[in-house]
Structures are given as C-alpha cells and as structure tokens.
Structure 1
Amino acid sequence: MPTLTAEKKLTQLQKLFSQMDRALIAYSGGVDSTLVAKIAYDVLGDRALAVTAVSPSLLPEELIDAEEQAAEIGIKQELVETQEMDNPDYTSNPVNRCYFCKSELHDTLKPLAIARGYGYVVDGVNADDLHDYRPGIQAAKERGARSPLAELGVSKLEVREISRLLRLKWWDKPAQPCLSSRFPYGEEITIAKLQRVGRAEVYLRKLGYQNLRVRSQEDTAKIELPPNKIKQFVQNIDLPELVAKFQELGFLYVTLDLEGYRSGKLNQVLEIKN
C-alpha cells in the first residue's frame, strides 16, 4: 500500500505542474522520467510533450519500452537524435563524462522547447540522485532545466510508491542508466563497445535476470547480479554456453562479480582517490 507521504508528494507534484503553462519532459522511459511524464500529462494534457533522445548509448529495447509507456500514458512523444559520440570530451570517458552527455541533451532540448513555446524543460532527477556523483545534473541546471522530483525531495523509493499509486505497471522497472556507465573512467567509449555490452545485457535478461549490469573493461565482461541471485545463477546457467555467447559478441573473458550488483559501483574509484 502507498504511504501517506507518497500521496502527499503526488499532490505536491501535481500542484507544481499546475503552475506551468507548457512543459517539455526529458523522457528516457525510466521509472523516474516516466512518472514525471505521467503527472505532467495528467495535469497539462496536450500542453506536455515527452522528448526521447536517441543515440548509441540507448538500447533499442529501451526505446521500445519508452514508446509503449508513453502511448499508454497518452502523452505525445517525439524522438531527437543527440550527437554526444562526436564529442571527444565524452568518448574519452573522463570522470565527468555525464556532464558532456547531459550538455548535449539539454543543448538539443532547450532550443526545441523555445521554438515550440514550452516554457519549461523538466527531467526525472530524484532526490537520491543528488547524493551520488552526477555531474550531468549540473549541466542540466546550467541550461535552466527543472527537476520536480528532486525539488520536492522525492526519493527513488517514493517514485516507485507514487508510480504504484497511479497504477503504472512498470513501477518496479529496474534502473537502466545509459550504456556508457558500464565502462571504467578513462577507457574510450565506441559504438561497437556500447552495442557489445548492450547485447550482453539483453541476452541475460532473456534468461530471466532483470536487475543486472555487464561491466566492460577492454576485452573482459564482468557480470553483476544481486547478491541473492549469484548462487542460483552459477547453479542454473549453462556457463560454457554463456561464455560462448559473450565471446561471440566480442569479449575474450567473462567473469562474475562476487560482491554483486551495486548502483554506481564504478564511482568507488573516485572515493578511493579522495
């Protein structure tokens, strides 16, 4: 059952959008931006527009999900292509890579919003994101974007509670950040590498493992699963077949992270350096 806090914050979000005339939502199809799109559409109707950025760092399957969810909500959706792969500041994969990604995104969305008469560009950043290393948040702020969830202190858990309250069937959808987050800082990002890691994750999801990551370092794939799924995985998966599939995709070595999946794990190198 949703908490009173979830109900209260839903009301606050609805009030926030009622103060906007027209809003363009940076919509990835993740649970956060989908909730924002849903509330925006419920309040603003056709004065809300969901815009999805298409690039090699977005899995085709994720784009399909985003389109299906937007259609179910009822909100109008448009696709735009972003060119972050043309920027060496992005592809060289520095620790602030996300800054250049979000700069490209909002440098695309802001002129579109102005041209179409949308007074606000809003995203799905939530309150928990503010406590992680997310340089992309600064890029969005510099370009005038608003983050309703973060502004009202809505946590990731509350995002799911509110989504469930609104009977959104994807309320428990696993987080799916861009594929570039699978690579250690400093390793160059290429389209081929993005496709390789993306196909590997799709393969594992088809085997029934939804909440996972395939981290990539040069020619090595490291599979991250929730700790309580590791034993089952080792016992039930045809390991030689899995290795053969990953090698077919272009990896030479396949490993399993015994610590298990943890969001933002690659940022721990920043913690160590500090």
Structure 2
Amino acid sequence: MTKTQQLVDFFDQFEQFSIAVSGGIDSMLLAYIANGYAKAQVNIVHAYSPAVPESALVRVKNYAKKYTWQLKVIDALEFQDDNYLDNPVDRCYYCKSNLYTRIAEHGVGPIFSGTNLDDLGDVRPGLTAAKEQNVLHPYVEVGMNKADIYQLAAHYGLEEIHSLPAQPCLASRVETGIKIKPVDMQFIDKVEQKVRKSLPSLKNIRCRISHQGIFIELDQLPEQALFDRLSARLSQYCAEQGRIFSGMKLYQKGSAFLNGVNHG
C-alpha cells in the first residue's frame, strides 16, 4: 500500500476535519493530499501573526486558490499571551496552545497537524499542547518521516514546497528570555530575505537575536570577499535599526534555546 493510500485510509475514518497549515512542506503536503483524495470535508486553517513570514501566508493562499482549498486565515492570538511573549524555554507550548484553541473555534471536526516521526525525537513543548487538545498527527499514524514527505512532494510535482528548507516560526530565532516583539519578527524576516538574495543556494539561514547582538547563522560561510561585503551590509543595516551586528557563523539547530531544546 502506498503512503498516499495509507494517509487517505486514515482520513476516511472521519466525515470532516481541520488541518493546521503553517506554510511549510509537512502541513502543505498533508493539506494537498487530504483535499485531493479524502472523502471527508477538509478545512484548511492558517494562523497568521507577526511570527509567520509573509512568504508563508502568500504560499498558503496561492495553494488554496490553485487547488480549491476551503481555507480560513485566523489570528492565533499568541501575541496577546504574556506567557508566550516572555519567551520562556517552553514558549512553543503557549504558542501551540493558543493555535489549537483558535483552530477549534474556527474549524470543524478533529484537528490534524503536520508532525512526522522525525519530530518525535526532538524536545517539543508544542507536542504537549497538541496532546492536551487531542490533536492528531496523520504522518505519525501511518509511519511517515521527513524523507517520506519530501519524496511524496516530489512525486506530485509540488516543486515550490519540495524545495523549501525547514521553516520554524520567526520567534524561534530569539534567544530564550528575550521578549518576543512584533518589530523583532519584522526585522528577522527582512534580514533573512536580504541574506537569501546574496546566498540563494543555502538551505538554512537564520537571523538570531541574542543577548550578545545579532548573529547570522548559515549552512556554509561564503568565500572571503562575499563574506566581507555581506558583513559590511548587515552591519550597516543593523546599525540603522539601532542594533549590534555580531557576525556570521555556521548554522546550529536550536542555538537560540539556552537549555538546548532542539528547534530551528
């Protein structure tokens, strides 16, 4: 039995359900397969906030139009939650608690997420919130990991999402204990867009806001001449924004989390 058929068999246990779609490959593929092959009424819900890159919202809307999704764009209201804004090490718990609460208000049936088997190996407070609110994870139910998801996306010719790197929310770039602010989310998104224009082939680009200043983390550091030019431009831009540019270094997953919680 194919992975697609296993997912469809899982979906067909339900008359209707809602899928939380972030704009990343996992949830986008899940929505694509459910909307295209499941018998159930499929409701796609995207939560847009300052912590979500504008590109993710555009991507979700484009797919909804192209594949006739029944889409709702909502505000998860996490920026009204002081527990989230304080940016504790379990910030993701408060984020997902708000997200799933809002989806339950706007969606129908059980809520599905794009969590896959590989996610279960990380320390993810958001999974605790999902469990508390009875969120189901179809990829986990049928035994799919990240490699399976990329393979399926390629099979269906979904080139835009197949080429996407991992895209954790912008708040994941802020070091634990530094308050989450909308202006910082905008700054991070703009900086990462600037860097990607100079280094379009890199998979992971992170603008980190730390207690020591602004760091840019990259899969691979560019050759010296480009390194120097890009550093100068970033230093100038940070100065214009009243920030201190502290340099570029190699990407380290979860480096913004001071106790080593494994996130983007």
Question: In structure 1, what is the equivalent of residue 239 of structure 2?
Answer: 247
Q: Are 2:76 and 1:86 equivalent residues in the alignment?
A: no
CA contact (8 A) 1:213 1:223 kept: yes
Query: In structure 2, what residue type is equivalent to 1:159?
Result: I
- Whole-Å Cα distance in 1 between the matches of residues 4 and 38 of structure 2? 15
**TM-score, length of structure 2 as denominator length:** 0.89
Greater mean deviation of Cα atoms: 35-44 or 240-249:
240-249
Q: Are 2:153 and 1:163 equivalent residues in the alignment?
A: yes
- Whole-Å Cα distance in 2 between the matches of residues 156 and 162 of structure 1? 10
| Structure 1 alignment gaps of length 5 or more | 1-6
- Whole-Å Cα distance in 1 between the matches of residues 153 and 30 of structure 2? 10
- Whole-Å Cα distance in 1 between the matches of residues 235 and 40 of structure 2? 49
CA contact (8 A) 1:29 1:63 kept: yes
Q: Are 2:177 and 1:186 equivalent residues in the alignment?
A: yes
Partner SS for 1:216: strand
Of 62, 76, 80 in structure 2, the residue corresponding to residue 68 of structure 1 is 62
Query: In structure 2, what residue type is equivalent to 1:224?
Result: E
Q: Are 2:49 and 1:55 equivalent residues in the alignment?
A: yes
Greater mean deviation of Cα atoms: 121-130 or 239-248:
239-248
Q: Are 2:217 and 1:224 equivalent residues in the alignment?
A: yes
Superimposed CA distance per residue, residues 12-58 of structure 1 (whole angstroms, 9 cap, x where no aligned partner): 11211122211211011100000110111012368112111011111
Identity within the alignment, %: 30
Judging by fraction of residues, say which structure has more helix. 1
Relative to structure 1, is the Cα distance of residues 218 and 45 closer, same or farther in structure 2, using a 3 angstrom cutoff? farther
Relative to structure 1, is the Cα distance of residues 125 and 10 closer, same or farther in structure 2, using a 3 angstrom cutoff? same
- Whole-Å Cα distance in 2 between the matches of residues 46 and 245 of structure 1? 49
- Whole-Å Cα distance in 2 between the matches of residues 255 and 45 of structure 1? 52
CA contact (8 A) 2:175 2:211 kept: no
Query: In structure 2, what residue type is equivalent to 1:185?
Result: T
Offset of residue 248 of structure 1: 2.5
- How large is the RMSD of aligned CA atoms in angstroms? 2.0
Moved over 3 A (4+): 265-268
Question: In structure 2, what is the equivalent of residue 4 of structure 1?
Answer: none
**TM-score, length of structure 1 as denominator length:** 0.86
Give the total of aligned pairs. Answer: 256
Partner SS for 2:144: coil
- Whole-Å Cα distance in 2 between the matches of residues 263 and 33 of structure 1? 21
Relative to structure 1, is the Cα distance of residues 254 and 265 closer, same or farther in structure 2, using a 3 angstrom cutoff? closer
